[in-house]
Structure 1
Amino acid sequence: MMSSSHLPKLSDQDFRFLQQLMLEESGIRMAEQKRTLMAGRLMGRLRALELRDYSQYLRLLTRPESREERRTVIDLLTTNETYFFREPQHFTVLGDWVAAQRRPLHMWSAASSSGEEAFSMAMTVAENARTQDWSIFASDISRRVLERARSATYSIDQAGQFPPGWLKRYCLRGVEESEGLLRINQPLRHRVTFAEVNLMRPLPQEIGPFDVIFLRNVLIYFASEQKRAIAVRLLERLRPGGLFFIGHAESLHGFDLPLRTVRPSVFERL
């Protein structure tokens, strides 16, 4: 068992093992500068399992019966930074596009993390859609963040990101023991479905087709070949004329995809 006076270090060998595990399970390449983050996030598992060092923990991960523990590693090491209406220009584009449609609309938040992106999409569609037949499918590789997303409960501090009037229109404010929190209201929650999806694996047949796909701030974690493979996989589920969004810091340059640039980081499926 580990003592508070002796904290274990993540050796080069153990770090390489974790890098390979992340690459095989999620396709994500963990750079050397992520070593401290990896060690810190896994420290809690060592304490919970009363293990003395990372080597002992990694031996546990190699056992066939440790599949769920390997899933826990993926959950802990996947970066999940997000907030409501991140890159707000995208939601302006989405709202204008939705307002021009006169048909059922089905959309996918493909790396939804804890749900802020999916619910930002939902509010935008609710404000602008000319049809009541619309839905949003939201997915992530991390079970931990999907549980939070399904709860639809967030800090009230995030309300500062909302357009005027939308907090009152689409959220409930917490009272008493829930003071300081907001929860997405039931009508909007019913529009969004969350599921675990690994974008590096073949997609389930039942996913899609979609009219809009958000794949934002996730491609930066993959090598070029993997980025293209993920984009191709998702575009097979996007209808011609549909919109494809990536993060402003990302690029699809040189991938020869069936896309037309609408504006930076926003594309139309050909």
Structure 2
Amino acid sequence: MHAAVLSDDEFNQFRTWLHLTTGISLSDSKKALLAGRLSKRLKHHGLSSYSEYFRLITRRTDAAEFQIALDLLTTNETYFFREPKHFDFLRGQILPKVQAGKKFRLWSAASSTGEEPYSLAMTLADGLCCTSWEIVASDISTRVLNKARTGQYDIDRAHNIPQSLLAKHCLKGTGTEEGTFMVERNLRSHMQFMRINLNTTLPNMGEFDVIFLRNVMIYFDRETKRQVVARILPFLKSGGYFIVSHSESLNGITDILKLVSPSIYRKP
């Protein structure tokens, strides 16, 4: 069987479906990436065209394959303590002002394989020694959430973790686990991982003191950004902080939040 070729019409079918399902907008330059990521699924099912695979996932008769396609087409690049100024702000400006006796809640709304929420957990564990806290970490991809729940990573992923935090909160793998490290159990006990599609009605999760929504809105068009932020903002407490990536801005997206510093906003 010859390898299937993704036509422009087929690419547009997938592009429209992905936008309607997740809010993610694919540019024309992503055609080869889409074809490459889905080609193995065509081979797996013995299909001769991308149109056949599109019919398979959009009929929704195979929920598992629908999720596999979503997982393959959502971008999950991440690493520990990415954009460190945000962690500095959390540590230096937010945590010292937390009221004792109240549980501090943080939502990592595009958590990928867990590096961001675990970086946040290490920061909270050190900065809130006498205050209870919890982190909700969500993503649209079940595959990356399953990886995150394990809390286990290749040792080369640890290079951005400060040595003091690595020693305090992580365990080095030995024997068959050599070459890996694991976030220690007590830290993981503060985490709740949830599959959430930001492009649909959100579940009731209560209010949060801080919401991280980083490196995801770059994949949304302006109207989708407005809709996603509008869905999320009711979950942010008055006085709470909303943090996006340094490459992102909420200018023209919402007038509810007030800019504190580049990429950091506060709800009045």
**Fold match, TM over 0.5?**
yes
Cα RMSD, aligned residues only: 1.3
Quote the Cα distance in structure 2 between the aligned partners of 1:70 and 1:17: 15
Gaps of 5+ in 1: none
CA deviation map 1:124-177 (0-9, x unaligned): 011111533100000000111001011111111122101131111001111121
Quote the residue 1:159 is aligned against. 158
- Whether 2:192 is the aligned partner of 1:193: answer yes
Quote the Cα distance in structure 2 between the aligned partners of 1:56 and 1:136: 41
Quote the residue 1:44 is aligned against. 40
Quote the residue 1:28 is aligned against. 24
- TM-score when normalising by structure 2: 0.95
- TM-score when normalising by structure 1: 0.94
Quote the residue 2:96 is aligned against. 99
Contact 2:229 2:254 in 1 (8 A): no
Quote the residue 1:16 is aligned against. 12
Deviation (angstroms), 1:117: 0.4
Contact 2:109 2:213 in 1 (8 A): yes
DSSP-derived class of the 1:117 partner: helix
Contact 1:101 1:130 in 2 (8 A): no
Quote the residue 2:215 is aligned against. 217
Quote the Cα distance in structure 2 between the aligned partners of 1:138 and 1:111: 7
Quote the residue 1:69 is aligned against. 65
- Whether 2:87 is the aligned partner of 1:88: answer no
Change (3 A) 1:256 1:52: closer
Change (3 A) 1:67 1:20: farther
Quote the Cα distance in structure 2 between the aligned partners of 1:256 and 1:156: 40
Deviation (angstroms), 1:64: 4.1
Report how many residues are paired: 265
Quote the Cα distance in structure 2 between the aligned partners of 1:112 and 1:145: 8
Quote the Cα distance in structure 2 between the aligned partners of 1:225 and 1:20: 15
DSSP-derived class of the 1:33 partner: helix
Deviation (angstroms), 1:266: 0.6
What fraction of aligned residue pairs are identical, expressed as a percent? 44
Deviation (angstroms), 1:208: 2.2
CA deviation map 1:18-56 (0-9, x unaligned): 011101111111111111111111111112112223222
- Whether 2:254 is the aligned partner of 1:238: answer no
Quote the residue 1:133 is aligned against. 132
Change (3 A) 1:37 1:190: same
Contact 2:109 2:212 in 1 (8 A): yes
DSSP-derived class of the 1:15 partner: helix
Greater shift, 31-40 or 81-90, is seen at 31-40
Quote the residue 1:267 is aligned against. 265
Quote the Cα distance in structure 1 between the aligned partners of 2:254 and 2:78: 29
